[in-house]
Structure 1
Amino acid sequence: MPGDGTGRREGRDETREECADRQWGELIQEVRVAQTGVQILFGFLLTVVFTPRYPQLEQTDQIIYILTVVLGASATGALVGPVSFHRIVAGRRIKPETVQWASRLTFAGLVLLLATMTSALLLVLRVATHDPFVPYLVALVLAWCLLCWFVLPLWARSRFTQD
């Protein structure tokens, strides 16, 4: 890290490995939050097919359901992936690389979680209301999540990142 002319370093004074350890701890905390949400949603989705109402759903709703379950399984896989990745490579002295890959899996998991939530919301609102306004409401919720999960953080990153 560049200094300020006084011999002090800007930012954290940590080695690459210390930085990776800190980032790993932060990432795992973030993954725990996302894993809980996706696991609850996925668990609920798995029960829907066993309800008496499922066979009565329109074919379109059944297709949306199947897509939602596949997205939920994929999100679960991506969000559990960092734990498995770390366990398999532990002790190989590649923590910085592990953090990078785990971060990528987490990001993919968040995108898949958003797709799962959107698809589940579409299905529930279609079945609950049969209202033609449903796609617009789902689009509004999707836009809100995109703003909260991606747009604001990317804006903050670009605005406040030091060169």
Structure 2
Amino acid sequence: MSDLDESESARLTRNLNELLQELRVTQTGVQILTGFLLTLPFTNRFGDLDGTQRLAYLAVLCGSVVATGLIIAPVAFHRVLFRRGERPWLVSAANWAARAGLASLALTTSGMVWLVFDLVTNRATATVAGTLSLVFFGVLWVALPLTSARRAGPSGSGTAAD
């Protein structure tokens, strides 16, 4: 079946199923990260953190909780709106939540890299490591796909319906 033969309803269903499948990968990772972060204050070394490190920890923890909420939101949206004819809104909102969740995950992970490097080395090295981590996610998750899509052009393998 070509994209032209696909109905709007079938396209929305396919898009939602693809999005939910993609989110399964990130959901587990972000839940593990959040669980790990929740245990840190109960470790012996946590008391050694200075004020900046404690604030960074709290920012990273909040970012992880936000990422978890955003990445799991499409599942909740689907469950709340199941069989209510809201598929267009659902696909659009789920796409927005997934993108925002991935951005939050990139920031959170980069913040965690900063915190670990700050604990193990020094603040200057931590700043470089955290920044490089954020640049890595930006290049890998945003720049590379956009560059690839531009190179493929309008006749590429992707379609405007995706």
> Structure 2 length as normaliser, TM-score?
0.89
SS in 2 for 1:100: helix
- For the Cα contact (< 8 Å) 1:68–1:119, is it kept in 2? yes
- Equivalence map 1:9-158=2 (5 Å): 11-130=3-122, 132-158=124-150
Query: Gaps spanning 5+ residues in structure 2: where?
Result: 155-159
Q: Deviations over 1:67-111 (max 9, x none)?
A: 000000000000010000111111111212211110000000000
Please give the alpha-carbon distance, in whole angstroms, between the structure 1 residues aligned to 2:124 and 2:151.
40
1:147 shift after superposition: 0.6
1:139 shift after superposition: 1.4
Structure 1 residues 11 and 159: alpha-carbon distance in aligned structure 2, compared to 1, 3 A threshold:
farther
Please give the alpha-carbon distance, in whole angstroms, between the structure 2 residues aligned to 1:147 and 1:40.
24
1:25 shift after superposition: 1.1
Give the letter for the 2:99 counterpart: F
Greater C-alpha Rg: 1
Q: Deviations over 1:111-153 (max 9, x none)?
A: 0000110111110110012263221122122211111111111
Provide the aligned C-alpha RMSD in A. 1.7
Structure 1 residues 12 and 36: alpha-carbon distance in aligned structure 2, compared to 1, 3 A threshold:
farther
Query: Gaps spanning 5+ residues in structure 1: where?
Result: 1-8
Over 6 Å off, 4+ runs = none
1:10 shift after superposition: 6.2
Identity %: 35
> Structure 1 length as normaliser, TM-score?
0.88
Please give the alpha-carbon distance, in whole angstroms, between the structure 2 residues aligned to 1:26 and 1:161.
22
Count of matched residue pairs: 155
- For the Cα contact (< 8 Å) 2:117–2:129, is it kept in 1? no
